[in-house]
């Protein structure tokens, strides 16, 4: 993997976290970072969500710094890396937080496993599509 592709992957990790936090946590209200452990403590959950978003911001800033060091980067490599990074975020967060630790689920309730598995499938699709974009550019 090139330096530029690694930088794009880090940016994608941060963007994936932002999409999850903004859409699932804030707009849909499906879960917060610690809702599986502290379901009634909104203050603790909001603080944890804020720390999570700070981590996402740091990932994006580090990725931009790495991208700057890498020099010129083709659009397909950039967007492929971003998609792959978003997918890696979904896979790691989905396995660790949803399935292993049970910190929260994508959407709690009777079908929570289906939502969690859908989140993982989306992550896998993003990794594959992003990898194909990066690989296609690298083969030219």
pLDDT by residue (tens digit) across 20-65?
999 988 999 888 999 999 999 999 999 999 999 999 999 998 988 8
Residue 69: pLDDT over 70: yes
Compare 64 and 94 and report the one with higher pLDDT: 94
Q: For residue 2, what pLDDT is reported? A: 84
Of 45, 58, 46, the residue nearest 17 (C-alpha): 58
pTM of the predicted structure, to 2 decimals = 0.74
Residue 67: pLDDT over 90: no
């Amino acid at each position: 993997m090139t330096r530029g592709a690694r930088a794009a992957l880090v940016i994608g990790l941060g963007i994936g976290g932002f999409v999850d936090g903004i859409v699932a946590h804030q707009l849909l209200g499906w879960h917060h970072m610690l809702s599986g452990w502290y379901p009634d403590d909104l203050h603790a959950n909001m603080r944890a969500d804020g720390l999570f978003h700070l981590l996402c911001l740091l990932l994006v800033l580090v990725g931009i710094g790495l991208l700057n060091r890498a020099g010129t980067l083709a659009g397909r490599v950039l967007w492929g890396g971003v998609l792959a990074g978003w997918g890696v975020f979904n896979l790691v967060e989905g396995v660790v937080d949803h399935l292993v630790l049970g910190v929260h689920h994508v959407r709690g309730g009777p079908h929570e496993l289906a939502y969690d598995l859908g989140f993982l499938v989306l992550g896998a699709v993003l990794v594959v599509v992003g990898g194909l974009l990066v690989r296609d550019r690298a083969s030219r």
